[in-house]
Structure 1
Amino acid sequence: MFGFGKKAKKPDGIDILIIKADEAKNRNIYQVAFPSIVANDVLSMLQKLEKSKVNKPELLGEIGGFRIITHLEALTSFDVLDDADIEAHPVQIQDFANTLLRRLEALDENGSIGDSDDLAFIMGELTMLRDGSFVPQT
């Protein structure tokens, strides 16, 4: 992929997913940051949500209909060059997970979405991400 070579094995690195939400009003791109050590779990869970039937603006709000467009792996640092642009600032995975989880919990409470093993898995993973129990504490 672009000749950058293999991912450096850096457990203290940061991964960033660039997620595009076409229907969003406040921001079209979310940069979601999380520790590289949990990248496989986070990426697979968000890909499962991306492909699920609940990934619609009418269900997830502004984030609905999102697409993961880029995965930056094992970064040791990054610089935000445009402080005034909200899209330039990465969102921590805990905050992103909290936004998604609040929306899914509200839909679940009013019966707008049916029960499924995938949805239960996603909500469990999002709960752990929100609470910080998913990310190893160092």
Structure 2
Amino acid sequence: MFGFGKKAKKPDGIDILIIKTDDAKNRNFYQVAFPSVYANDIVSMLKKLEKSKLNKREILGDIGGFHLATHLEALTSYDVFDENDLEAQPVMIQDFASILLRRLEAIDESGDGDDADLAFIMGELTMLRDGSYVPPM
């Protein structure tokens, strides 16, 4: 039988990835939300960025030196109890991609970004930001 893989669990669900930041001033972690059907691609791309030499505070700012802490899969809903706490609010993948992309574009424009992964990651983040890869939730 086909269709019983990871994506078949809850294709209409929401995944949340908890990303821990090392030295952030405003946040200790980000909760990044995205549709479950795109989880494998998004998580693998962020793992690649996590292991990349681009994952430095000098390049990514406060997010630099991040690591993936937890992946919550196929949620049907979530509740935010503290609306005033910035960390309590999940960030949509489009917004998170935009944050990362702005920082990587600055490196690319300055000519310091000769890393082989830079073009690939910037392309993936551009598609995430623009909604051409993952439709807005």
Give the TM-score of the pair, scaled to structure 1: 0.90
Q: Is the 8 A contact 1:8 1:74 kept in 2?
A: no
1:100 aligns with 2:84: no
CA distance in 2 between partners of 1:41 and 1:22 (Å) = 24
CA distance in 2 between partners of 1:111 and 1:10 (Å) = 43
Question: In the alignment, what sits opposite 2:3?
Answer: none
Offset of residue 52 of structure 1:
0.2
Total equivalences in the alignment:
132
Q: Is the 8 A contact 1:7 1:73 kept in 2?
A: no
1:86 aligns with 2:86: yes
Alpha-carbon RMSD across the aligned residues, in angstroms, is 1.7
Q: Is the 8 A contact 1:60 1:100 kept in 2?
A: yes
Distance 1:27 1:137, change over 3 A: closer
Deviations, residues 61-96 of structure 1 (Å, cap 9, x unaligned) = 000000100000000000011112110000000000
Offset of residue 136 of structure 1:
4.5
CA distance in 1 between partners of 2:135 and 2:99 (Å) = 21
Give the TM-score of the pair, scaled to structure 2: 0.91
Structure 1 runs, 4 residues or longer, greater than 6 Å off = none
Segments of structure 2 that go 5 or more residues without pairing to the other structure are 1-5
Segments of structure 1 that go 5 or more residues without pairing to the other structure are 1-5
1:121 aligns with 2:120: yes
SS in 1 for 2:65: coil
Instruction: Kindly provide the amino acid, as one letter, of the partner of residue 85 in structure 2.
Output: D
CA distance in 1 between partners of 2:39 and 2:113 (Å) = 28
Question: In the alignment, what sits opposite 1:64?
Answer: 64
Question: In the alignment, what sits opposite 1:3?
Answer: none
Deviations, residues 1-54 of structure 1 (Å, cap 9, x unaligned) = xxxxx8871111000000010210011110000000100000000000000001
Identical counterparts, % of pairs? 75
Offset of residue 115 of structure 1:
4.0
CA distance in 1 between partners of 2:109 and 2:36 (Å) = 33
Offset of residue 137 of structure 1:
6.9
SS in 2 for 1:112: coil
